[in-house]
Amino acid sequence: MESLPGLHITLTPQGVMALKPPASEAAQQVKDVEHRSPIEVFLSGLQSVGSWKGFLGYAAAAGFVVWIGLFTNTSYLLVAAMLIAPFAGPAMNVAIATARGDRHLLQRSLLRYFAALAVTIVVAGALSLILRQEVTTSLMNQTSTVSAVAVLLPLVAGAAGALNLVQSERSSLVSGASVGMLVAASLAPPAGLVGMASAMGRWDMAMNGVFVLLLQLVGINLSASLLFRTYGLSAQGARYNRGKRWVSLSASAATVVALAGLLTWQFSTSPDLQRSSRSQRAAAEIQKVMNGSGLGELVEANVRFTATDIKGQNTLLGSVYVQRPIGATLSSEEIRSRVTRAIQTRLQQQGNVTPLIDVSVLDPPPRQ
């Protein structure tokens, strides 16, 4: 058919149920669902591109919504921004281009990815400048807090996005919108944070956001491109030229190098990019101190890194509640002083933190 002049082919990829007699085997035949072919995966990725105006319009809308959410500490607005943000399409197309070795698609997808991020960042930053925001909110602080296991989210999101694209419509149990939200979940809030923090001159928070955005792109690209290759999307095709092998290998190598570089950056600048994990570790150390001190029973310990940028220190703020042991001869003030010194000494041994610990000694009610 390719030799026919003026040939036009229209594909209508609708799910169908191909059944054959006998009728008793219909249930088994329906359960036999094939995944999409490599050309279908590629074309479905291209269909998600859309026009520049609509694409950037959604990015700007996501910037408005994520700014309102971060500014007013309204978490459900961050969920709304994740649904609006158009980051999932370019991120998955980067993975398709990497597996396929398509340099043109790779360049165009990266351009759209960073263009959307730039629009969201600029909108959020402009709103902070216009309204003269000077104080960070608690939701901004939470968004800027990075965990040591932050790399797992983009790896899972990339795999989920790739699975959604390779599975047929009737085989997928998860909607495309849900998968797109999972991909955007790790992109929309940090993008808004970068804009707001930059407008306020909080470059430490802005750098945390930039780190998360880069980590998401390379993590999603690594897991998604590997899954696409598993399902047959490669630089070599039986019926058409899908791309160049050297482009695929170069993009994959660059992804691995970038991911290694980001992880090196994360673990070499402790605790800046590990604050969530370091806070949990500090709470565990406080539990160990109290178990071995004999000065009382630990009731609760709340530990977090503060948002206040005190030059030359990483402030670890802790509120510790201790129950005074029955029959203790030491005064509450002496117990408080000894527990505070013991906890601060233990936490300082963890390295590069300034622990500010407030210990409250609580007396149990007298026994009847």
The domain that contains 181 carries what CATH number?
A: 1.20.1080
In terms of C-beta density within 10 A (0-12 exposed, 13-18 middle, 19 or more buried), how is residue 244 classed? middle
Q: Do 250 and 329 fall into the same domain?
A: no
* Calculated CA dihedral for residues 215, 219, 220, 222, nearest 10 degrees: 140
**Residue type, position 82, single letter:** M
Phi, then psi, of 50 in degrees rounded to 5: 75, 180
Distance CA 80, CA 66 (A): 8
In terms of C-beta density within 10 A (0-12 exposed, 13-18 middle, 19 or more buried), how is residue 130 classed? exposed
Q: Do 295 and 236 fall into the same domain?
A: no
Q: Do 142 and 252 fall into the same domain?
A: yes
Residue 313 sits in which domain range? 276-362
Q: The CATH number of the domain where 310 resides is what?
A: 3.30.70.1350
Strand partners, 297: 323
Last residue of a domain, one of 254, 269, 284: 269
Distance CA 304, CA 291 (A): 21
Whether 20 is in a domain gets the answer no
Cis peptide before 271 (omega within 30 of 0): yes
Q: Do 182 and 254 fall into the same domain?
A: yes
Question: Both tokens of residue 22?
Answer: 């006998």
Phi, then psi, of 12 in degrees rounded to 5: -120, 90
Q: Do 97 and 232 fall into the same domain?
A: yes
For the chain, how many structural domains are there in total? Answer: 2
Q: Do 190 and 211 fall into the same domain?
A: yes
Last residue of a domain, one of 269, 302, 318: 269
Overall pTM surpassing 0.85 (yes/no) = no
What pLDDT is recorded for position 17? 61
Parts of the chain with a pLDDT under 70: 1-4, 10-20, 23-36, 45-50, 168-185, 236-242, 308-309, 367-368
**Chain segment 276-308, per-residue pLDDT in tens:** 888 888 999 999 998 888 888 889 999 988 876
What pLDDT is recorded for position 211? 92
Distance CA 138, CA 307 (A): 9
Q: Do 248 and 340 fall into the same domain?
A: no
Last residue of a domain, one of 216, 239, 269: 269
**Residue type, position 93, single letter:** N
Radius of gyration of the chain (CA): 27
Given the DSSP bridges, would you call strands 315-323 and 297-305 parallel, antiparallel or unpaired? antiparallel
Q: Do 54 and 137 fall into the same domain?
A: yes
Residues 6+ apart with CB under 8 A from 164: 172, 174, 176, 179
Whether 326 is in a domain gets the answer yes
Provide the terminal-to-terminal Cα distance of the chain, rounded to the nearest Å.
Answer: 95
Distance CA 206, CA 212 (A): 10
Whether 6 is in a domain gets the answer no
